[in-house]
Structure 1
Amino acid sequence: MFRRLLTPRPCRSAATGLLALTAFYGGAALASSSSSSDDVAVSISAPLWQFLSSTSELFLRDFTLPSLFSSPPGGFFTRYSSTSPLPDSNSYREPLGKNRNDAPCCPGCLGRNSIAEAAAAAGPAVVNISVVQGLYGPMFGKSIGSGTIIDPDGTILTCAHCVADFHSMRRVSKGKIQSKTPLPAAKLGSSSKLRPGDWVIALGCPLSLQNTITSGIVSDLGLGGVRREYLQTDCAINEGNSGGPLVNLDGEVVGVNIMKVAAADGLSFAVPIDSVIKIVEQFRKNGRVVRPWLGLKMLDLNEMKIAQFKEKDASFPDVVKGVLVPVVTPGSPADRAGFRPGDVVVEFDGKPVGGIKEIVDTMEDQVGKPLKVLVKRANNKSVALTVVPEEADIDR
């Protein structure tokens, strides 16, 4: 049957013969190159390849294309030249990690070893945090959380509740790890690049266990372009995971695991690393986190809220966006600057305001510096104010 399928062009005859065999075994597809060379691309299923291997002498004699067929189990689409060497019949049995199917198809995609490689990159920098208890009796350590070494000097990134006494807000831990050799440090990534559905893994030491790895996806970054204070994932988080890293598939820390919802499965939260980096910088610069304070209660405005306020009070200013000030704390920087309840902030530090987050981000490192603010009041009266943020007092 095969000899009758031959034509003067070897490549065409081989293709015709292969398509005929497909009727018996299936799983083959062929495409010819548009160039003048005798190249063809073939996709072959494993059963068909086994048949071809068992009849190799017939194909070598009839088709004179010994290098045409080669496929791993399941088949793939590839291109071979008529001058290529003959592949071994077991060539598709490649070691794990060497097969092209092991690699992700694009950056951020999930491959066979993606999670393992990400965990291997960040895992050595993950530590268990414990405190010593038993002042008047036997001393023992209690595991209270996880952390991540973020520089070779031994600086550990973790959650506040892992190193502070909630009753007195007193620090129970201070200093760095002492080591004669550089310590493994995790690489910090960017949480702003995350998208809903991106794969992440949570590393830590829950329930006093070591080297625990769970995986999941980012499920919430906020709506309408507004970034959330926390990243929501479905990674399994348990007691002791707090302070451990949330890592992307590149092995970069993109968040710090902080809590889970006890009444729900697969609902955990992490602080975005972009926010954490700002806090780390303040610690290194000031030895503490400096929070600005104005003394304002603020409310984001949108089209629906503005319409509701206009319906209740026709004198409400004509704005399309901004931040409403319903309460001004007496004696606060905002009170001294002349803010009034009912003001709508439309510009802050010379920039248009669309939400509270823009005001907070602008004030972040502006403690003690005068800031120009434009507000609108009833009947569209515009007023320019100057406010000087103060450092927040946690006991206030």
Structure 2
Amino acid sequence: MKLSLNQLGVYLFLLVFGCGAGLFGSRYLLLQNSSFQQLRNVTMASPPESVVPNSPNGAIGATGGDNVNFIATAVQKVGPAVVRINATRKVANPISDALKNPLLRRFFGEDEQPIPEERIERGTGSGFILSEDGELLTNAHVVADTDTVQVTLKDGRSLEGKVVGVDSVTDVAVVKIKANHLPTVKLGNSQNLIPGQWAIAIGNPLGLDNTVTIGIISATDRTSTQVGVPDKRVSFIQTDAAINPGNSGGPLLNAQGEVIGVNTAIRADAQGLGFAIPIETAARIANELFTKGRVEHPFLGVEMADLSAIKKQQINQENQLNIQQDVGIVIKGVTGDSPAKRGGLLPGDVIQKVNGKPVKTSAQVQKLVESSKVGDIIAIEVNRSGKIQTFKVQSGAYPERK
């Protein structure tokens, strides 16, 4: 086939243009692929640790390639100030009393003492250091009925501790050891705790020193009755951080490593629930014990209950009352010859305000009364059979248990 000169020129132009376009297109695709690979390489080269920030407010992560998160940081700050307390006390031996029966004595000689009258009871708990010169805080039940205890520091030193004061009403006690320049804890604030916040417990459960557990704040303002210790006067913090025997007296921390409570009560029938005394209550009691050796608790002499429709019916039946309200705080009973009795309060009164502050739960009433001093005049506003009345009650001292 013969081609004209013009046709040959057109074919040559198309051939050159096509090759150029192909080369340009290949170069464009190569650049695109190279950029993607560079981005991919940068992403894959980034260490995983650098993309997880370490936050004191609760984000669990590590920085700089190490394993220090907010929990470890809190424990490093507070751990050295947490101690183990070993208490030894003599208690009556019930078997010895039983063997004093003449019918059983004939099996033994007249002068023979088959069973010792007393036995030694040993217990282990926890505590934490408040001051550099050796002031410690723990639970009352850890050091009850003993004058001295053995205190073991995290650095291994073991020192004799003197029990300065015990308050069984709040389950708080203080101990003094002879030492200086000790590590101390930092006290936080438990007043504004919200369920769901982090909670860290440090203590010596089951003889396992310096054990750390973590969970959340499960609830606040749990009454002593709800916790199962009705003889105490504390509104407890509830947590699911594991608390076992031996944790008693140890600190409950927030995410910043500040003490917000003193681990104390464990319900035998509970799984994954523990309770702590709010640090404001514990610190106030500890200060009084160190300065005066004892604590006087304001006392009104009323038995209260939070109302509900079902609870109202039950209280009316059991106490022969005629409460009409479905909500509020009802006075179920008034102790004879008590400040409440002298002040004019009666069973069936529904408390509305304490010292002018509206209250909705018995725990709130307990807190307001406990924050006052013995001898203070407390204004109690109640609904009595539909009529609002205010009674001024002078608080007395909480009666000592015999």
Q: Which TM-score tier does this pair reach, normalised by the shorter chain? A: 0.5 to 0.7
Q: How many Å separate the matches in 1 of 2:135 and 2:23?
A: 72
Query: Aligned-pair distance for 1:19?
Result: 7.2
Which secondary structure does the structure 2 equivalent of 1:297 belong to?
Answer: strand
2:176 is matched by which residue type in structure 1? K
Residues 134, 222 of structure 1: alpha-carbon distance in 2 compared, 3 angstrom cutoff: closer
Q: Which residue of 2 aligns with 1:157?
A: 137
**Selected match of 1:17 from 29, 33, 43:** 33
Query: Aligned-pair distance for 1:307?
Result: 9.0
Q: Which residue of 1 aligns with 2:156?
A: none
Q: 1:260 and 2:276 equivalent?
A: no
1:161 is matched by which residue type in structure 2? H
Query: Aligned-pair distance for 1:163?
Result: 0.8
| TM score, norm. by length of structure 2 | 0.65
Greater displacement, 182-191 / 140-149: 140-149
Q: Which residue of 2 aligns with 1:117?
A: 73
Query: Aligned-pair distance for 1:258?
Result: 1.5
Q: Which residue of 2 aligns with 1:126?
A: 82
1:377 is matched by which residue type in structure 2? R
Q: Which residue of 2 aligns with 1:29?
A: none
Residues 209, 387 of structure 1: alpha-carbon distance in 2 compared, 3 angstrom cutoff: same
Q: 1:345 and 2:351 equivalent?
A: yes
- Please list the CA deviations of residues 147-190 of structure 1 after superposition, one character each: whole Å capped at 9, or x if unmatched: 00022121111111111029xxxx983351212x3110011112
Which secondary structure does the structure 1 equivalent of 2:133 belong to?
Answer: coil
Structure 1 unmatched ranges of 5 or more: 22-41, 50-69, 74-91
Residues 142, 337 of structure 1: alpha-carbon distance in 2 compared, 3 angstrom cutoff: closer
Q: How many Å separate the matches in 2 of 1:93 and 1:382?
A: 68
Query: Aligned-pair distance for 1:260?
Result: 3.2
Answer yes or no: is the 8 Å Cα contact 2:297–2:373 preserved in 1. no
| TM score, norm. by length of structure 1 | 0.66
Residues 257, 165 of structure 1: alpha-carbon distance in 2 compared, 3 angstrom cutoff: same
Residues 356, 182 of structure 1: alpha-carbon distance in 2 compared, 3 angstrom cutoff: same
Q: How many Å separate the matches in 2 of 1:141 and 1:343?
A: 46
Q: Which residue of 2 aligns with 1:377?
A: 384
1:43-82 equivalences under 5 Å are 48-49=40-41, 70-71=42-43
Q: How many Å separate the matches in 2 of 1:212 and 1:308?
A: 45
Residues 17, 3 of structure 1: alpha-carbon distance in 2 compared, 3 angstrom cutoff: farther
Query: Aligned-pair distance for 1:114?
Result: 2.0
1:246 is matched by which residue type in structure 2? L
2:217 is matched by which residue type in structure 1? V
Query: Aligned-pair distance for 1:110?
Result: 2.1
Answer yes or no: is the 8 Å Cα contact 2:330–2:349 preserved in 1. yes
Residues 241, 353 of structure 1: alpha-carbon distance in 2 compared, 3 angstrom cutoff: closer
Q: Which residue of 2 aligns with 1:359?
A: 365
Q: 1:220 and 2:176 equivalent?
A: no
Q: How many Å separate the matches in 2 of 1:343 and 1:110?
A: 50
Q: How many Å separate the matches in 1 of 2:134 and 2:192?
A: 27
1:190-229 equivalences under 5 Å are 190-221=189-220, 229=235
Q: How many Å separate the matches in 1 of 2:270 and 2:352?
A: 40
Q: Which residue of 2 aligns with 1:297?
A: 303
Which secondary structure does the structure 2 equivalent of 1:288 belong to?
Answer: coil
Q: How many Å separate the matches in 2 of 1:266 and 1:377?
A: 42
Q: How many Å separate the matches in 1 of 2:23 and 2:239?
A: 58
Residues 134, 283 of structure 1: alpha-carbon distance in 2 compared, 3 angstrom cutoff: closer
Query: Aligned-pair distance for 1:108?
Result: 2.7
Answer yes or no: is the 8 Å Cα contact 1:128–1:143 preserved in 2. no
Q: 1:335 and 2:341 equivalent?
A: yes
Answer yes or no: is the 8 Å Cα contact 1:2–1:17 preserved in 2. no
**Selected match of 1:173 from 159, 163, 167:** 163
Q: Which residue of 1 aligns with 2:13?
A: none
Which secondary structure does the structure 2 equivalent of 1:130 belong to?
Answer: strand
Structure (1 or 2) with the larger CA radius of gyration: 2
